[in-house]
Structure 1
Amino acid sequence: MLGSSAPPRQRLGSRPRRVHGFTLIELICVIVILGALSATALPKFSDFQRDARLAVVARTSAEITGAARMAYYKCLLIAGCYVAFSGTKFVAPSGVNGATYFGWPTGQTRPNDFQGIKDWVTVSGFTVHEVNTAVAEFRLIGSTTPTACLVRYTETATLGTGPQIVTVTTGC
């Protein structure tokens, strides 16, 4: 009959086909593809974190260098400051008395409340360790190995030379 809207007849013994969802093979294929994608993306993500830590250490090294130079130029303007250990008091940006050695900030706090490089620069995310009388280390908090992800400031030992500012990034 033409124009009839009756449903088509089914064959004898067959059931209507039902679609309930994904087959097990389809699900396994999707899981394998997602696993492969995540395996390639995860190392890239961890590299971004290391790159960020390296950038922070490099920026902090530049800030420490700038602060040391600022102290040196300020010292040149003060009479008597350009000696082995300056007894001349001048105020560091942190508001304390700054100590200099041949005009450059010292690595460590000196007697009579003279402060070293840590009071000439303000850095966040670092802990400052005064290793000895001449060396201060700015260690990055949250790095893989804080003792190997740092900026080391070593005060000058002779007249006419500047301090050594070294970055260590093997533990970043």
Structure 2
Amino acid sequence: MKRQGGFTLIELVVVIVILGILAVTAAPKFLNLQDDAKKSALQGLKGAMDGAAGIVYGKAAVEGKDSGDSVQTLDSGITVLYGYPTATSAGIGASVTGLTSDWTSYANTSTSPASFVATFSSSSITDASGVTGTSCYVSYSQATSAAAASTLVVDSGC
């Protein structure tokens, strides 16, 4: 009888197992999924802020508090300016559920118009400049007489 040349089933299974182990240990080095996840989370927060600002503007319009250049408080306790949430924890912070508890967020009064910045939870960040220093945050700009409120994602440092 002539011997067949080739691999046995056990040899093939061992090679497949070794390749699987190599793939599991090497794949994270080639695929940086954490950065993509952070950027996507920031985009989600931006969407939540935009949606909340739109809803609050609708509530302010119903209550007749969608104009005027002074800060007003809605029946729900949210502070608004020109109908949009203010850039404070009582404004946009109260409008977005979990913004002040799940994220590190601060009012940034050094900008004009005032803004509210939020990034991933960190105990080492103690003010708005610490948030912006991460280059991985969402910024909500308060409405002005000339423009509606707006949000911006900065993800160059994620």
The question of a shared fold, defined as TM-score above 0.5 by the shorter chain, is answered with yes
Cα RMSD after superposing both structures = 2.7
Hey, what does 1:130 align to over in structure 2? 107
**If you compute each CA radius of gyration, which structure gives the higher value, 1 or 2?**
1
Q: Which aligned pairs between 1:107-118 and structure 2 lie closer than 5 A? A: 107-108=87-88, 115-118=90-93
- Return closer, same or farther for 1:88/1:116 CA change in 2, 3 Å cut-off: closer
Task: Quote the offset at 1:88 in angstroms.
Answer: 4.5
Size of the aligned set, in residue pairs, is: 126
What are the superposed Cα offsets for residues 55-112 of structure 1, whole Å, 9 maximum, x if unpaired?
Answer: 1111110001000000001100012442112435320xxxxx1111111100025xxx
Q: Secondary structure at the match of 1:51?
A: helix
Q: Pick the aligned partner of 1:149 from 109, 115, 136.
A: 136
Hey, what does 1:71 align to over in structure 2? 56
Q: Pick the aligned partner of 2:120 from 140, 159, 162.
A: 140
Q: Secondary structure at the match of 2:151?
A: strand
What is the CA–CA distance in structure 1 between the aligned matches of 2:153 and 2:136, rounded to whole Å? Answer: 8
Hey, what does 1:56 align to over in structure 2? 41
Q: Does the 8 Å CA contact 2:65/2:83 hold for their aligned counterparts?
A: no
Q: Secondary structure at the match of 2:72?
A: coil
What is the CA–CA distance in structure 1 between the aligned matches of 2:73 and 2:98, rounded to whole Å? Answer: 26
Report percent identity of matched pairs: 21
Gaps of 5+ in 1: 1-32, 92-96, 110-114
Q: Secondary structure at the match of 1:148?
A: coil
Q: Secondary structure at the match of 1:90?
A: coil
Task: Quote the offset at 1:150 in angstroms.
Answer: 0.8
What is the CA–CA distance in structure 2 between the aligned matches of 1:132 and 1:87, rounded to whole Å? Answer: 18
Tell me the amino acid that sits aligned with residue 120 of structure 1.
Answer: S
What is the CA–CA distance in structure 1 between the aligned matches of 2:88 and 2:103, rounded to whole Å? Answer: 16
TM-score normalized by the length of structure 1:
0.63
What are the superposed Cα offsets for residues 134-165 of structure 1, whole Å, 9 maximum, x if unpaired?
Answer: 211011236xx953111100101115x31120
Q: Does the 8 Å CA contact 2:78/2:91 hold for their aligned counterparts?
A: yes
What is the CA–CA distance in structure 2 between the aligned matches of 1:168 and 1:106, rounded to whole Å? Answer: 20
